[in-house]
Structure 1
Amino acid sequence: MTDDDRRMRSGEIGPNERLAMNRTGSFDWDLDTGTIDVDEAGLLVFGLDPEGFDSRPASLVGGLEPEERARLEAVIRRAITSGETSYTAHFRTEGDEGAPQWTHVQARILRTADGRAHRIVGIVRDTTAEVTHSAFVLELEKRREVQTSIVERTTHALSRAVTVDDVTAALTGPGGLARLGADGLALGLVENGSLNVIALSGESLDALNDFRSRRLDRGLPLAEAVLSGRPRFVSSFQSLGREFPELAPYLGRLRFKAACYLPLVAQARSLGGMALFYRGRTSFSADERNLALGLAAIVAQSLQRALLFDEERELATGLQETMLPRRIPAITGGEIAVRYHAAWSGRQVGGDWYDVISLPRSRVGIVVGDVQGHDTHAAAIMGQLRIALRAYAGEGHAPSTVLARASRFLAELDTNRFATCTYAQVDLGTGTVRAVRAGHLGPLIRHTDGRVGQPKLRGGLPLGLATVFGDEEFPETRLDLVPGETLVLYTDGLVEQPGSDIESGMAELSAAMSSGPPQAEALADHLSERLWERWGAGDDVALLVLRRSPDPGTPRAPRIHQYVHQADPQGLSDARAAVGQALRDWDMAELADDAELLTGELLVNVLLHTEGGAVLTLEVLPEPVRRVRLSVQDRSSAWPRRRTPGEAATSGRGLMLLDALASRWGVEPRGEGKAVWCEIGPVERAGTVERAGTAEGAGTAVTGVAAGAARADGGARGGSRSGA
């Protein structure tokens, strides 16, 4: 009798029995002879009969799948060849009932003195129970990670939602359903005893469009959940038809197997309900039910904040809208467009405003301004100030007087607030603009060729502060709008943005104006679209676009206008280039050189000897023989006079050039100033056509300058090459 038999009879448990009871066996592999000795417990692990085992390694692993056997052999081979002293491996075998069984091998490699492996001893152990339990734990942890991720992602998405529209966008936009772990969603709000479905997301849910708005009753599962205040989990979607007959005809069109209907309650107030739909789910575990309830609580809190924000926003914008003009009066000789974008920060509305005021003598007053602060108080002050400024302007006062009185009015309100604004009186008949500034940004002008200029407006202190500091001086600046040019007024919210300087904002606005369409409404829309990122962020924006009606002439008599500012060094060369290009476009290139030369002479005279800019007009006269007429208008009442320059003189020859190059020329009074004009082109003489003022005849014409200079008052009232 062996020691093992004696221990078994006496009830003792030895090492081998302990290993066997734990489905653990041992093996001894002789690499030299190629045989392996495996004890009975080890053979049971491999699923082999001890009586039939032939001690061959191939027989031991014969029941393994080819992939598993190859993987085990690769582990052993790598351990032997790399000089390692041990190895471990996990492999899968087929159990008695076809269930997978996992086996763990842990072995030690014995080597000779020269490092050659000659023997491997180790143990084999059945680890199926451990692996199964581990897989269960991993699966459980994975499900909990998924649930945690759903909550975190949904919370993060809704944390940025400000309005109800933002909440619905977060739930139904890209990735919204994935964040919720659902395949479909319906969101409804309770309003005046009705349940209004504000969002439907998911394939086939458009079948429920018939139920978007209806009275709150128990005829539908979502309304029933709202009324009862209890969630409803539906594992068999089609079973709803028996309890809710009104829904039954629609169930066949919905591609879902399960759903949960959740009431949305925040601070004991029932806001509405949310339904989540699932295609692959047929039951709800306790964890999944808790997850759905948690999502409902998160959505309810977000909706409560959003509803409160929308209510405050509606109150604030309603107050603000009542302070702004309800309509813009029609104007003659131009077109006007206004845009207003309110800051997106709840009640924090600003005091930006615009106005268009009809003035005596067919003029129009335009103003854009901003009251200090971002609250309802600022909006209220804005309304009072706008009405006061409108009243002062309507009385016919000069722009400087209008702002001085508006500043006094604001100071007398004793609000400790100030305001900035730009005000201009515009005569669209003549194009004259008289503008004043009170601590505000100056206007921009878009010229007919698309260029954008920023005229220099002298300015005074902000309204209110000017009176407090006793400095109510608001100097006027005169501008001229030629037909087709556009004046743009705006508040600082359009060009100022945190983190960037105002110059970059001005450059962006100028580029947008230059690339936009010429019409006032279209240009206002273009600026809104291009600069939308700046609007609604933290400040209000008021925008006013005024365009003087264009004067394109006719195909037989085309016409261009251009304003040249006295402080613009590039304006002179731009004007010369515009004249030359226009004549080439009108197939009159032979007159371009003379026209450019005379353009320079007339403009230089204005820019040097007057105190303002000039309006340049070039047109084709529709006569039997086509000529071009060049006119330069300024604000000076002093007429040009002839001089007799010496040989070394550098000026004084302008009128001589007019005599030499123009067919005829003259001076006319125009409003507050005058216009010097000339005509260039062929001249009719006794039934023939003489090319007067061309480059070829210029040399001989100049020789007659002395005679032209002797004409009585010829320089004052004009001259003519045809003797007219």
Structure 2
Amino acid sequence: MRTEDVLAALATGLWTWDNAAGAVTLDAEARRLLGLSDHVELTESAVRARFHAVDWLEFRGVLALSAAEGTLGELRMRVVDDAGRTLRTVRLRTRPTRGGFDHLMLGTVEEVPEALEGTSTVRLPVVADWHRNREAFLLDAGRALAEAHSTVEVLRVAARLSMPGFEPSGLAVFVGEAGRVKVIGHHGYGPGEAEPFLDQPLDAAYPAAEVIRTGRAIYLPAPEDYRRRFPDAYRKVAHFGRTSWAFLPLINAGRTIGAWMAGFSAPVTFTPDERSVLTTVARMLAQALGRASVTESEKELSVGLQRTMMPTVQPDIPGMSVAARYVPTGGGLEVGGDWYDMIPLPSGKIALVIGDVQGHDVRAAGLMGQLRIALRAYASEGHHPDAVLSRASRFLAGINGEGDGGADQRFATCLYIEVCPASGLLVIARAGHPDPAIRLSDGTLLVRPTVGGLPLGIIPDTDYPTSRVVLEPGETMLVCTDGLIETGGHDLETGWARLREIIEDHPLDREDGNLETLADALVQAVHGPPSHYTTGPLIDRREDDIALLLLRREAPAPAALGAPAAPARPARRTVLTIAQAEPERIAEARQQIRELMHDWPDGDQTDSAVLMVSEMVTNVLVHTDGDAVLTAEISGRPGGRRVRVDVADASDELPHRRHPGEMASSGRGLVLMEILAGAWGVDPRGEGKNIWFELYEADSDAGFEAIT
């Protein structure tokens, strides 16, 4: 007898469904049961019209669940006529072929006798409210798991899941590691109750172990099912009083990474709807755990790189204090090319180094590590700052692009500062890096223009001229990478303006205003409150990595009893050298005067000072063969302050007053000083001369009005 004849005698039909093509094939008995005409092949839409709409939606869910679990799917459905009237009830059974729901599905259809239509135990009634609750639950669970960024957060979300209509009383998440099954999180167990399940062999006769081994879900609707399949394990869980259990694989990127257990105190039959909810939650949970694992691995790698590459600063420099911060970028592995270093020199001095390798990736971090080691080696050999940077530039140019034919060449900016703790002398060599800034004793911040050369690695043989600055007692130097200045859409000018407010308002002269709190305040001004630190805060929402160093020369101790009191307000002072070959630095001299007089109440006097400085420095560069040394100082109390500017050079020739005509292009310097300065003069020296002028805050008539 043929199989078709046997099935027809049992009122059972056969069907196949090609989900990819949307085509359904039915045999003669299946067509009869569905009330379809004698077509060999039908479309999905034609078959769908023969079922009740609600039942069809549920059938789609059963098919998807059957394909996902590789299990037999079963459902009772109402067959309707063209007018929507119910003709009969049939039972559909299906199992996916290889390829799952996206490919071929095979199944049977058989008529359910009328006497049994109302006694189904396989399928619960379809209730619209239950479906709405299910969708709302899945949306909420998906959102909460998507927002969890660590394994702890994912497990916390999993423990709070409240499923519609069948809330579990116990939850556990298992992972497979090195041939073992371990519990990484659980809920609904008292102290010590989960101890027998925390660590088991992968080949143990336990549901979670079998799920991890096979990748298939296990549903245990009743204690008898658990006892029959896993007798030894059941003896360990019987006292919990639960009646149903579901163990589902956690599959991420095609790999079973663990298992999820949901235990229920009330009986659960695990209908297709209930299994669909559990399977969906397991998928979301697996993806969330996978993301959290990747994030935590990247974080561990980046923090390890940071701690390895970022040195600790030396806290016990005589007469000085230092603070440092490194804030990694917020993208990718959170590593970048910014770094700082502090190097003891053979001479007893200290070298401070800060730099930035182009890029925010692992290659930038690797080059940074190599370059930092090379700089430390050259400095430890006792080379002068300019020689250290020259050698470092040759080193970076030599290793740039190794292994890729030079396709990914990188350059690096760098600031190298040789510090003499005893005198406060700073010898600075700069390779394309932002200038240092000095916070003066009265709180004023001045960006110190320094000479420099190209970034490291661009041209191997490059010279790096040096600048000399004296850090006076009570002054603080800030050096940083451009991430601190330019983050948030700022350029150099507006970025320094933002930092100036923080630095000038910070009380470094108080116990609660040390360098560490200033370093925190600078980073927080750019990125917001810190989360945790390496050598400083790691901040979220970071555009660029940041390195910064603060160096403070301590002010002298308060005078002893009976000694003359120190001045209530320290003088504000700046020094700048303008070389013959650098006339463009006259603009920097003008800017220094404006920054020094930033709080001077008379804007005309400020403009007068800028004009006179420009004339004095220009005369030195035009009429002598030497460099100009500019010294500017503001002293006194507010309301009665004095600004004095000295420009010294090495020429013995004194300036002469001339009477230029209207069309003359020079000869006006001394005339302007006579008109604009409160006082001025020329002082001969042993070698060279010094031209100076003074302005007084109390004078309100000095200014451009005197010219008219």
Question: TM-score, normalising length from structure 2?
Answer: 0.53
Q: Which residue of 1 aligns with 2:99?
A: none
Cα distance in 2 for partners of 1:192, 1:639 equals 81
Displacement of 1:232 after TM fit?
5.1
Deviation at 1:220, TM superposition (A): 8.8
Q: Is the 8 A contact 2:630 2:646 kept in 1?
A: yes
Asked if the contact 2:313–2:323 (Cα under 8 Å) also holds between the matched residues in 1, the reply is no
Quick check: 1:298 aligned with 2:284? yes
| Partners of 2:574 and 2:632 within 8 A in 1 | yes
**Does the CA contact (< 8 Å) of 1:225 and 1:232 recur in 2?**
no
Tell me the secondary structure at the aligned position of residue 525 of structure 1.
Answer: helix
Residues 403 and 212 from structure 1, CA distance in 2 versus in 1: closer, same or farther, beyond 3 angstroms?
Answer: farther
Residues 371 and 382, structure 1, Cα contact 8 Å, conserved in 2: yes
Counterpart position of 1:564: 573
Distance 1:634 1:244 in 2: 93
1: CA distance, partners of 2:246 / 2:507: 53
Matched, 1:478 2:468: yes
2:401 is aligned with 1:410: no
The residue type paired with residue 494 of structure 1 is L
C-alpha distance in 2 between matches for 1:180 and 1:452: 63
Letter in 2 for 1:375: D
Instruction: State the alpha-carbon separation in 1 of the partners of residues 298 and 333 from structure 2.
Output: 6
Deviation at 1:419, TM superposition (A): 0.9
Paired amino acid for 2:134: Q
C-alpha separation between the residues in 2 aligned to 1:209 and 1:457? Answer: 69
* Residues 119-174 of structure 1, C-alpha deviations (whole Å, 9 max, x = no match): xxxxxxxxxxxxxxxxx99973343343334444544555566x6x1x54356369
- Mapped to 2, the partners of 1:330 and 1:385 lie a distance apart of 26
Query: Is the Cα contact below 8 Å between 2:313 and 2:322 reproduced in 1?
Result: no
Cα drift, residue 286 of structure 1: 2.7
- In the aligned structure 1, how far is the partner of 2:268 from the partner of 2:130? 16
CA drift of 1:259 comes to 6.9
Aligned to 1:102: none
CA distance in 2, matches of 1:448, 1:364: 22
Would you say 1:391 and 2:383 are equivalent positions? Answer: no
Partner of 1:551: 556
CA displacement at 1:571 relative to structure 2: 5.9
Alignment equivalent of 2:438, drawn from 445, 470, 484:
445
Distance 2:164 2:630 in 1: 68
Alpha-carbon displacement from aligned partner over 1:21-68 (angstroms, at most 9, x marks no partner): xxxxxxxxxxxxxxxxxxxxxxxxxxxxxxxxxxxxxxxxxxxxxxxx
Given that 1:445 and 1:455 are in contact with CA atoms closer than 8 Å, whether structure 2 keeps it comes out as yes
1:612 to 601, 611, 630: 630
Q: What SS is found at the alignment partner of 2:127?
A: helix
Q: Which has the higher contact order (CA 8 A, sep 6+)?
A: 2
- Please list every run of 5 or more consecutive structure 2 residues that lacks an aligned counterpart in the other structure: 1-122, 402-408, 509-513, 529-538, 576-588, 602-608, 621-627, 658-669, 693-697, 699-708
Q: What are the equivalent positions in structure 2 for 1:148-547 lying under 5 Å apart?
A: 148-156=135-143, 158-159=145-146, 165=150, 168-169=152-153, 172=156, 177=161, 186-192=172-178, 198=184, 207=191, 211=195, 214-216=198-200, 230-231=217-218, 260-266=246-252, 269-275=255-261, 284-311=270-297, 314-315=300-301, 318-319=304-305, 321-325=307-311, 328=314, 330-347=316-333, 349-415=335-401, 416-467=409-460, 472-497=462-487, 505-516=495-506, 518=508, 519-532=514-527, 537-547=542-552
Residues 449, 655 of structure 1: alpha-carbon distance in 2 compared, 3 angstrom cutoff: closer
**SS at 2:434 equivalent:** coil
In the TM superposition, residue 418 of structure 1 has moved relative to its aligned partner by 0.9
SS at match of 1:392: helix
> For 2:325, what is the secondary structure of its paired residue?
strand
The whole-number CA distance in structure 1 between the counterparts of 2:291 and 2:677 is 77
Give, in whole Å, the separation in 2 of the partners of 1:206 and 1:513.
54
Looking at structure 2, the residues matched to 297 and 331 of structure 1 have their Cα atoms a distance apart, in angstroms, of 57
Structure-2 separation of matches of 1:636 and 1:615: 14
Deviations 1:265-302 (A, max 9, x none): 33564433445578999665431222112211222133
Aligned CA distance change for structure 1 residues 652 and 530 (closer, same or farther; 3 Å): closer
Contact 2:351–2:416 at 8 Å: present in 1 too? yes
Q: Please state how far the C-alpha of 1:334 moved relative to its aligned partner.
A: 1.4
Q: Is the 8 A contact 1:335 1:548 kept in 2?
A: yes
Cα deviation, 1:218-243, whole Å, max 9, x if unaligned, reads: 6998678657754456789xx99996
Task: Say whether 1:141 aligns with 2:134.
Answer: no
* Aligned match of 1:28: none
Q: Give 1:568-583 correspondences, 5 Å limit.
A: 568-569=592-593
- Alpha-carbon distance in 2 for matches of 1:292, 1:381: 49
Shift of 1:372: 1.8
- When residues 529 and 397 of structure 1 are mapped into structure 2, their CA distance, relative to the original with a 3 A threshold, is same
Q: Distance in 2 between matches of 1:153 and 1:313?
A: 27
- For 1:482 and 1:373, locate their aligned partners in 2 and report how far apart those are by CA, in whole Å: 36
| Distance in 1, Cα, partners of 2:441 & 2:205 | 65
Describe how 1:117-136 pairs up with structure 2 within 5 A.
none
How many pairs were matched up?
A: 484
C-alpha separation in 1, matches of 2:245 and 2:500:
55
Q: What CA distance in whole angstroms lies between the structure 1 residues aligned with 2:289 and 2:474?
A: 50
Shift in Å at residue 186 of structure 1?
A: 4.9
Tell me the TM-score normalised to structure 1 length: 0.52
Bigger radius of gyration, 1 or 2? 1
Shift of 1:356: 0.7
Query: How far apart, in 2, do the equivalents of 1:571 and 1:478 lie?
Result: 20
For 1:244 and 1:226, the matched residues in 2 are separated by 18
- SS class of match (2:464): coil
Residue 304 of structure 1 and its aligned partner are, at CA, apart by 2.7
The aligned amino acid for 2:343 is I
- Contact 2:134/2:163 (<8 A) preserved: no
Alignment of 1:92-107 (within 5 A): none
Alpha-carbon distance in structure 2 between the residues aligned to 1:391 and 1:635: 39
Q: Once the 2 structures are TM-superposed, how far is the Cα of residue 558 of structure 1 from its aligned partner?
A: 4.1
In the alignment, is the contact (CA less than 8 A) between 2:183 and 2:199 conserved in 1?
no
Trace 1:551-700 onto structure 2 (pairs within 5 A).
Answer: 551-554=556-559, 556=561, 557-558=565-566, 561-565=570-574, 567=589, 568-569=592-593, 611-613=629-631
* Percent identity (aligned): 33
The CA deviation at 1:316 is 5.7
Query: What is the aligned-residue RMSD (CA, Å)?
Result: 5.7
Mean Cα deviation higher: 507-516 or 298-307: 507-516
